[in-house]
A and B are shown apart, each in its own frame.
Chain A
Amino acid sequence: MGMTMTQKILAAHAHLASVEAGQLIEADLDLVLGNDITSPVAIKEMEKMKTNGVFDRDKIALVPDHFVPNKDIKSAEHCKCVREFARKHDITNYFEVGEMGIEHALLPEKGLTVAGDVIIGADSHTCTYGALGAFSTGVGSTDMAAGMATGKAWFKVPGAIQITLTGKPSEWVSGKDVILHIIGMIGVDGALYKSLEFTGDGIANLSMDDRFTIANMAIEAGAKNGIFPVDEAAKAYMAEHSSRSYTVYEADADAVYDEKYTIDLSTLKPTVAFPHLPENTHTIDEVGDIAIDQVVIGSCTNGRLEDLKIAAKVLKGRHVAKGMRCIVIPATQKIYMDAMEEGLLKTFIEAGAVVSTPTCGPCLGGYMGILAEGERCVSTTNRNFVGRMGHVSSEIYLASPAVAAASAVAGKITGPEAL
């Protein structure tokens, strides 16, 4: 029986000739990731283990990014715990404020994630690296602890949903619209326990930043991972960013899929997910009149350079609506620098937006953009759950950078074409 791309990567890392959906395996890990929220719990767990330390100091990445620069004393203690652990174990890839970025934008940029890898991260959006043809999935802190100590993790081999992408998206349609469309179609548990396997000639019309966004939100459909084939664009990205060797896996022609969908990218419209689930999607033409108080452009989903370029294109020569708070957060220091050199930051500031150092802050209601009672936000982040960004009665509308920027100007949910 044929294997999916995910199954092939898992089989290789479990030293098995083949695996099938449902099988329990133990796989070698190429990278174990944690942040300032999840690592302290993992570190405490690891200290309980009878172990001599970490399995490989080069294969662990610790990225304080959620509540840094430290938002309060308790967060500062968490970050200190991670910092001291990194020093004690001489962790190569610990990223301090000044060199850090939002983890899922930072690690590919630093070349730490490549095709064919098996990666676990104590952060649900670890599935982002599937854009490069890696198997990567979110786990909790205890799995992270066991992974740091042993270099291994157990997995139940996932079944798969195949999504064939064809055609070319229109001007203001990006990766965010593609993944919101998919989540709207299959639901927030539509891919529960499964891998989302992308294929089709439409992928060539999606930039790497689009693919990172799509793989990033696979978890929002319940998926274990999302994964793209390794084409010339992915190879070029890895050649530019990484010195690591990589392995390209391809799905067998007779691989088994539980479900198959085909999406013609040319038919998609800018898409918005209404409160309080990412599956509550509406295309921009059917949104109606929804006034907003805040816009957030950033996060592991949409804080990359291309996202900022699109937002700047919309905001150039315009100004955010009176009373609007528009918060722009470049995801890494490099993206911040590139955005500065390209003049994007100037465009944002002239348009009345604020630009922040990299942080996950507002996405999870940590800090840097908390919503008051009844306030509404259009956000390029990934979750619009009850209370996610602040008060339980506040509302989050998930959208692309283009729609977010246009909405900031209009003061209500709007697509760029309507400006």
Chain B
Amino acid sequence: MNAKGTVFKYGDNVDTDVIIPARYLNTSVPAELAAHCMEDIDKDFVKKVKKGDIIVANKNFGCGSSREHAPIAIKAAGVSCVIAETFARIFYRNAINIGLPIIECPEAAESIQAGDEVEVDFDSGIITDITRGTTFKGQAFPPFMQKIIAAEGLINYINNK
């Protein structure tokens, strides 16, 4: 399993209120959420993002509320993977549970820049910055997490068991 795409880069403490503002939480339709993803910190994100693109951020990505709408919005926007120095714990759980691949790698988070072409191999945890010719070793997903992601989320995974 792998992901490949162009990078959108953000800083520390990207919170769930900017990932999907609460004024849009009167819906839970993924496409409606995706239409407002990141708009309070990056108005252009929704216009520019293409299927397969990758978000790279620094520490504590996804802090704040427990809204699963945040990873849902990111996934529905077409993002194939989020790489960060660290993730807030509820976001981490939610992302895995809905089948959005995320990976912790401080070195990659530091080095990769906006617009870079990046590839992630989930089996090995290897992150390759194709633009810069650099590679990083992130935390590989344990097998059960890979299965949850392959099943597109925890519920399908439980049903398949």
B67 to chain A, nearest CB (A): 7
Q: Are B66 and A364 in contact, CB atoms less than 8 angstroms apart?
A: no
Q: Are B28 and A44 in contact, CB atoms less than 8 angstroms apart?
A: yes
Q: Are B155 and A49 in contact, CB atoms less than 8 angstroms apart?
A: yes
- Residues 38 to 54 of chain A near chain B (Cβ within 8 Å): 38, 40-41, 44-46, 48-50
Chain B residues, CB < 8 A from A365:
17, 21-23
B40 at interface by CB-CB < 8 Å: yes
B15 to chain A, nearest CB (A): 5
Q: Are B66 and A222 in contact, CB atoms less than 8 angstroms apart?
A: no
- Residues 60 to 103 of chain B near chain A (Cβ within 8 Å): 60, 63-69, 71-72, 86, 88-90, 93-94, 97-98
Chain A residues, CB < 8 A from B89:
192-193, 222, 224
Q: Are A222 and B18 in contact, CB atoms less than 8 angstroms apart?
A: no
Cβ contacts B126-154/A at 8 Å (1 or 0 each)? 00000000000000000000000000011
Q: Are A189 and B90 in contact, CB atoms less than 8 angstroms apart?
A: no
Chain A residues, CB < 8 A from B26:
67, 71-72, 74-75, 78
B14 to chain A, nearest CB (A): 10
Q: Are A74 and B27 in contact, CB atoms less than 8 angstroms apart?
A: yes
A184 at interface by CB-CB < 8 Å: no
8 additional A-B pairs beyond A138-B66, A139-B93, beta carbons within 8 Å, are A37-B22, A45-B153, A140-B71, A140-B90, A140-B97, A145-B155, A224-B89, A388-B22
- Complex partner residue of A192 from B28, B64, B86, CB under 8 angstroms: B86
Chain A residues, CB < 8 A from B156:
48
Q: Could you tell me the distance between the alpha carbons of A193 and B67 in the complex, rounded to whole angstroms?
A: 17
Q: Are A385 and B159 in contact, CB atoms less than 8 angstroms apart?
A: no
B41 at interface by CB-CB < 8 Å: yes
Q: Are A189 and B68 in contact, CB atoms less than 8 angstroms apart?
A: no
Chain A residues, CB < 8 A from B69:
37, 41
- Complex partner residue of A146 from B27, B72, B155, CB under 8 angstroms: B155
> Which 5 A-B residue pairings sit nearest by Cβ, starting from the closest?
A140-B94, A74-B26, A140-B68, A142-B97, A189-B60
Q: How large is the interface on A (under 10, 10 to 19, 20 to 34, 35 or more residues)?
A: 35 or more
- Complex partner residue of B60 from A40, A67, A222, CB under 8 angstroms: A222
Chain B residues, CB < 8 A from A121:
66
B158 at interface by CB-CB < 8 Å: yes
Q: Could you tell me the distance between the alpha carbons of A228 and B72 in the complex, rounded to whole angstroms?
A: 34
Q: Are B68 and A385 in contact, CB atoms less than 8 angstroms apart?
A: no
Chain B residues, CB < 8 A from A38:
66-68
A85 to chain B, nearest CB (A): 14
Q: Are A385 and B27 in contact, CB atoms less than 8 angstroms apart?
A: no
Q: Could you tell me the distance between the alpha carbons of A49 and B161 in the complex, rounded to whole angstroms?
A: 11
Chain B residues, CB < 8 A from A139:
66, 90, 93-94
Q: Could you tell me the distance between the alpha carbons of A139 and B22 in the complex, rounded to whole angstroms?
A: 17
A418 to chain B, nearest CB (A): 32
Q: Are A188 and B94 in contact, CB atoms less than 8 angstroms apart?
A: no
- Which residue on B lies nearest to A126, using beta carbons? B66
- Which residue on A lies nearest to B89, using beta carbons? A193
Q: Are A138 and B90 in contact, CB atoms less than 8 angstroms apart?
A: yes
Q: A189-B13, A364-B22, A387-B17 are in contact. Are A140 and B66 (CB under 8 A)?
A: yes
Q: Could you tell me the distance between the alpha carbons of A192 and B64 in the complex, rounded to whole angstroms?
A: 12
Q: Are B18 and A386 in contact, CB atoms less than 8 angstroms apart?
A: yes
Q: A189-B59, A222-B63 are in contact. Are A48 and B68 (CB under 8 A)?
A: no
Q: List 22 A-B contacts (CB under 8 A).
A: A37-B25, A37-B67, A38-B66, A48-B155, A49-B159, A50-B159, A66-B25, A67-B26, A122-B66, A124-B90, A139-B93, A140-B68, A142-B97, A188-B60, A189-B88, A222-B60, A222-B88, A383-B15, A383-B64, A385-B64, A387-B17, A387-B21
Q: Could you tell me the distance between the alpha carbons of A224 and B93 in the complex, rounded to whole angstroms?
A: 12
- Residues 95 to 153 of chain A near chain B (Cβ within 8 Å): 121-124, 126, 138-143, 145-146
Q: Could you tell me the distance between the alpha carbons of A222 and B64 in the complex, rounded to whole angstroms?
A: 8
- Which residue on B lies nearest to A37, using beta carbons? B25
Interface centre among A37, A383, A392, by most B CB within 10 Å?
Answer: A37
Chain B residues, CB < 8 A from A219:
90
Q: Could you tell me the distance between the alpha carbons of A385 and B63 in the complex, rounded to whole angstroms?
A: 10
Q: Are A78 and B21 in contact, CB atoms less than 8 angstroms apart?
A: no
Chain B residues, CB < 8 A from A189:
13, 59-60, 63, 86, 88
A277 at interface by CB-CB < 8 Å: yes
Q: Could you tell me the distance between the alpha carbons of A392 and B18 in the complex, rounded to whole angstroms?
A: 9
Chain B residues, CB < 8 A from A392:
40
- Complex partner residue of A142 from B17, B40, B41, B153, CB under 8 angstroms: B153
Interface centre among B23, B59, B64, B72, by most A CB within 10 Å?
Answer: B64
Q: Could you tell me the distance between the alpha carbons of A361 and B27 in the complex, rounded to whole angstroms?
A: 16
Q: Could you tell me the distance between the alpha carbons of A74 and B64 in the complex, rounded to whole angstroms?
A: 23
Chain B residues, CB < 8 A from A275:
none
Q: Are A41 and B28 in contact, CB atoms less than 8 angstroms apart?
A: yes
Q: Are B40 and A192 in contact, CB atoms less than 8 angstroms apart?
A: no
A315 to chain B, nearest CB (A): 28
- Which residue on A lies nearest to B87, using beta carbons? A192
